[in-house]
Amino acid sequence: MSIQIKNIIPAIHSGFEGMHPGVAIDNVSIDSRSLQNNSGTLFFALGGQNRDGHIYIKDLIDKGVLNFVVSRIPVDVRGKANFFIVGNTLKALQDFAIYYRQLFDFPVIAITGSSGKTIVKEWLNYLLGPDYNIIRSPKSYNSQVGVPLSVIGINEKHNLGIFEAGISTVGEMEKLQPIIRADIGILTNIGPAHDEGFSDRQEKIREKLKLFGYVKLLILKRNADVEKELSHNIKTFTWSFGEDADVQIAAQHDNGNTVISVVYNAQAFDITIPFTDDPSVENAISCLMVLLHFGYSHEVIKERMAGLYPVELRLQVKNGINGCTLIDDSFSSDYQSLKIALDFLEQHKTHSKKTIILSDVFQSGFETEELYAKVAKLLSGHNISQVIGIGETISKQLADFPNFFPYSTTQEFLSHYKSSAFENETILIKGARSFRFDEIVVFLEEKTHETVLEINLNAITHNLNFYKSRLKPETRIMVMVKAFGYGSGSYEIAKALSHQKVDYLGVAFADEGIALRNAGISTPIIVMNPESSAFAAMAAYNLEPEIYSAKELKAFITVAQQKNLSNYPIHIKLDTGMHRLGFQENQLDELIELLKNNNLISVKSIFSHLSSSDMPDYRDFTLDQIGKFESWSEKIMEALEINPIRHILNTSGIYNFPQAQYDMVRLGIGLYGVGNDETERKSLETVGTLKTVILQIKDIEPGESIGYSRKFISPGKMRIATLPIGYADGIRRGWGNEKGYVTINEKKAIITGTISMDMMVVDVTGIDCKEGDRAVVFGASPTVVEMAEALGTIPYEILTSISQRVKRVFYKE
Ligand SMILES: *Cc1c(COP(=O)(O)O)cnc(C)c1O
């Protein structure tokens, strides 16, 4: 890409203020964290409730970025760069994409529908890849931001585009249509997803069809509701399981495969795909339609469709051997997704040493040498310590790259490399599917039993933003990551949040804070229950103590003297009614005396904790706590003439008493997806899903017993499954004996008999399942809230009880 500034101004309808009107830009960014930002970058400062791009401009200028699309010029950067001033920066990004798209003229396929968009796109890329240089949306980039970014990836060498578009409400599709400008449309299906954004199903259909306003051909399954909305100018190419379509289909399952019988143009033939579920069969048929339209022979269609594979789109973070962290992206290798994966690596690296295992890179549209020159530039920009290249092409092309280790095949790498060669590093494993890098992942992954707690990092961000949306923009946020991040993994959560404008982290003990510092977390940290024996270590690790008594304060002052500290931040805790830790009213004078004229320490914040913010019955009590906090903190502030941060709200406090948000709030359980209030819960996303697998299935006869103490006697013939999870993993015994259940293949399987230390048995009579299938112990169903209620406890206890032997796996969509 090379676009002159003078062409950008009319394209995005902007004003201009700057010094270098002669220059050109060669890439576009919306992410201030990307190490790929450089002097050729055009940075769009997008707004957003959690991150306003304008606040990063100063940093970006320091890093050499020169060109910014803004809705206002922050005062401190005026005159230091080129600014394109627009009313709405998102619209400007879209306008830029529209302009950029019309510079290219090749066939483009647009895909929309309620589900299957990404799978159809990935499969088409696989099916057509041998014959075209394809540009496609990376991952599931199908939103108002994702679609323009996808299109901006086009270059001169591409000769086919495949883009997906997703909408959640009225008015969005007409913005995406001119960006994609499709020639061929595919409508996958119309289901209930996002119904809430539309007045009815018909409106949603009309809205989706706007993507296809100017297509030359629309591929769809016959559907009367859709067809009545179609303009007569649109030529359709339809399929159905009946006889009334251009392509007639019959499907039959056969031993894990589906045989699809096709009748088209009076010719009949069969293809076989390695899937049996209905959505996969329909998605495969959508792809088949494109191949038929493109005129592929029956033989080629049969051969390529037999190779369809499950599409995995998440970048997964996993624990590796020898203290390594793995980022598993073992299913694609193209230039666009390499850029995304490197940014992901930068945000999720756990170690300063970064290794990448990379296969040949495909379908970039560039000539080989130019492509690998670009790859080398990306890698060196990201300070990758070591590159392992697998494949004939990359082995030659990167031969001169520093610390480059070439292998021709994955097998060659696996047979030569010793596992001891990797230690305490973050390893990005990125390869095209054909390289079978999943085998490398197996080799490098830490081996533990097959129960995992999956943590959805997107849900964490979503939940944080939900609470932010209920606060004033200037209110600071402290995130509680005590107790191993409520069982979810404190380091990974802290890391995931480090770019989200979280002002403080809260831990219970000094050790937890030290572990975070050792892992490279630099966000300010408050230690809630500091013991005086840990004060010196806390000062060494820059951890800030909660001060709750005069005795503790004196002890800390002594350490501050010994260590020559000055103005060391401390946090004063007031006991307004919880009666655990904190100063009471009659102790305030002594506190003030101790703090007066003391330069060793500095009161960074004053806070208190609500005992019953989730309980409407105790509303008056809470208001009384808030009232005391107000007057006591005022007293301290006046006496000392200071203006510290004040904070009193926890999760339920934010929800129920936003008027008391003061300068900061302390978010805990809500971040992890559990609200104490039912309506609050609806706005949150599930963060943790505890999964295990079926180890063994067996049939038992009437009258037989299951488990210890013969607590369960089978009433009839039953099929049962044994799962390798028990009370030592943190599942309470009270959840057994038919009280609780797990979910297997979307069905409830009741826990029969007593839960043992490492195992439990569930009833799978009538459930279609086999050994090795996954069982959800909690997550979407049952929820932790549901479990807690049945067990007479609270979700906090369920979450924090999950044993450390259960592996945590973090992922981002
Ligand atoms: C744990 C804790 C919180 C967070 O409480 P949630 O109910 O999980 O939001 C806030 N403040 C203090 C002092 C805490 O110990």
Query: For 342-378, what is each residue's pLDDT tens digit?
Result: 988 988 888 889 999 999 998 667 889 999 999 999 9
Measure Cα distances from 297 to 13, 109, 130, 424 in Å.
48, 20, 14, 51
Nearest-angstrom CA–CA distance, 395 and 390: 7
Measure Cα distances from 529 to 204, 532, 591, 607, 672 in Å.
53, 10, 18, 14, 22
Mean confidence (pLDDT) of the chain = 92
Rounded distance from Cα 670 to ligand 1 centre (Å): 10
**Active-site entry in 708, 717, 747, 770:** 708
Fold classification of 315-445 (topology level): Protein-Tyrosine Phosphatase; Chain A (3.90.190)
Measure Cα distances from 451 to 318, 319, 448, 583, 663 in Å.
13, 14, 8, 44, 41
pLDDT confidence of 312, banded at 50, 70, 90?
confident
In the Cβ-directed half-sphere of 800, how many Cα atoms lie within 13 Å?
Answer: 15
Nearest-angstrom CA–CA distance, 136 and 107: 12
**771/573: higher pLDDT:** 573
Residue 347, phi-psi category: left (phi > 0), alpha (psi -120 to 50), beta (remainder): alpha
Least confident residue range of 24-28, 66-70, 310-314, 716-720:
310-314
In the Cβ-directed half-sphere of 675, how many Cα atoms lie within 13 Å?
Answer: 17
Domain ranges of the chain: 3-94, 104-305, 315-445, 454-682, 688-812
Q: Is 181 known to sit in a ligand binding site?
A: no
Rounded distance from Cα 778 to ligand 1 centre (Å): 23
What single letter denotes the amino acid at residue 369? E
Predicted pLDDT of residue 808: 85
Ligand 1 mutation pick, 502, 622, 650, 796, max ligand atoms within 8 A of CB:
650
What is the rounded average pLDDT of the residues 406-425?
86
Rounded distance from Cα 680 to ligand 1 centre (Å): 17
**Active-site entry in 354, 482, 573, 604:** 482
pLDDT at 448 exceeding the cut of 70: no
Spell out the CATH class of 454-682. Answer: alpha beta
Q: CA 595, 597, 600: angle at the middle one, nearest 5?
A: 75
| CATH code, residues 3-94 | 3.40.1390.10
* Residues in contact with 124: Cβ distance below 8 Å, sequence separation at least 6, in sequence order: 109, 136, 162, 287, 290
Percent of the chain past pLDDT 70, that is, above it, reads: 99
- pLDDT tens digits for 14-54? 999 987 767 889 999 998 888 888 889 999 999 876 678 99
Measure Cα distances from 9 to 15, 22, 69, 70 in Å.
7, 12, 10, 12
Spell out the CATH class of 688-812. Answer: mainly beta
Q: Is the CB of 608 under 6 A from ligand 1?
A: no
Measure Cα distances from 75 to 54, 56, 78, 80 in Å.
11, 13, 6, 10
Predicted pLDDT of residue 50: 63
What is the rounded average pLDDT of the residues 386-398?
95
- DSSP-derived letter for residue 662 is T
- pLDDT tens digits for 694-739? 999 999 999 999 999 999 999 999 999 999 999 999 999 999 999 9
Q: Is the CB of 431 under 6 A from ligand 1?
A: no
One-character DSSP codes across 173-241:
HHHHHHHH--SEEEE----STTGGGSSSHHHHHHHHHGGGTT-SEEEEE--HHHHTTS-TT--EEEEES
Predicted pLDDT of residue 295: 96
pLDDT confidence of 631, banded at 50, 70, 90?
very high
Q: Is the CB of 553 under 6 A from ligand 1?
A: no
Predicted pLDDT of residue 258: 93
CATH architecture of 104-305: 3-Layer(aba) Sandwich (3.40)
Predicted pLDDT of residue 446: 76
Nearest-angstrom CA–CA distance, 547 and 550: 8
Nearest-angstrom CA–CA distance, 681 and 39: 45
pLDDT confidence of 449, banded at 50, 70, 90?
low
Q: Phi and psi for 186 in degrees, rounded to 5?
A: -130, 125
Predicted pLDDT of residue 315: 82
Measure CA of the first residue to CA of the last residue in the chain; give whole Å.
Answer: 28
Are 427 and 326 contacting, i.e. CB atoms less than 8 angstroms apart?
yes
Q: Is 681 known to sit in a ligand binding site?
A: no
Are 457 and 811 contacting, i.e. CB atoms less than 8 angstroms apart?
yes
Nearest-angstrom CA–CA distance, 696 and 699: 10
CA neighbor of 184 nearest in space, from 247, 112, 134: 112
Q: Which atom of ligand 1 is nearest to the CA of 613?
A: 7
pLDDT at 250 exceeding the cut of 90: yes
Ligand 1 mutation pick, 484, 529, 666, max ligand atoms within 8 A of CB:
666
CA dihedral angle for residue 70, residue 73, residue 77, residue 79, rounded to 10 degrees:
100
pLDDT at 123 exceeding the cut of 80: yes
Reported pTM: 0.63
- pLDDT tens digits for 43-53? 999 987 667 89
pLDDT at 794 exceeding the cut of 80: yes
Reply yes or no on whether 708 is catalytic.
Answer: yes
What is the rounded average pLDDT of the residues 241-267?
92
Predicted pLDDT of residue 195: 78
Rounded distance from Cα 609 to ligand 1 centre (Å): 8
Predicted pLDDT of residue 192: 77
What is the rounded average pLDDT of the residues 290-309?
94
Predicted pLDDT of residue 33: 85
What single letter denotes the amino acid at residue 418? K
Q: Which two tokens stand for residue 227?
A: 């067809």
Predicted pLDDT of residue 23: 80
Q: Is the CB of 650 under 6 A from ligand 1?
A: yes
Nearest CA to ligand 1 atom 6: 668
pLDDT at 271 exceeding the cut of 80: yes
* Coil/strand/helix, residue 397: helix
Q: Which atom of ligand 1 is nearest to the CA of 670?
A: 9
Are 325 and 427 contacting, i.e. CB atoms less than 8 angstroms apart?
yes
Element (H, E) at 604: strand 601-608
Q: Is the CB of 669 under 6 A from ligand 1?
A: yes
pLDDT at 542 exceeding the cut of 60: yes
Reply yes or no on whether 655 is catalytic.
Answer: no
**807/627: higher pLDDT:** 627
- DSSP-derived letter for residue 647 is E
Q: Is the CB of 668 under 6 A from ligand 1?
A: yes
Element (H, E) at 122: helix 117-128
Q: Is the CB of 673 under 6 A from ligand 1?
A: no
Predicted pLDDT of residue 813: 64
Q: Which two tokens stand for residue 298?
A: 């029956």
What single letter denotes the amino acid at residue 162? I
Are 572 and 590 contacting, i.e. CB atoms less than 8 angstroms apart?
no
Predicted pLDDT of residue 518: 84
Are 30 and 147 contacting, i.e. CB atoms less than 8 angstroms apart?
no
pLDDT confidence of 287, banded at 50, 70, 90?
very high
Predicted pLDDT of residue 363: 66
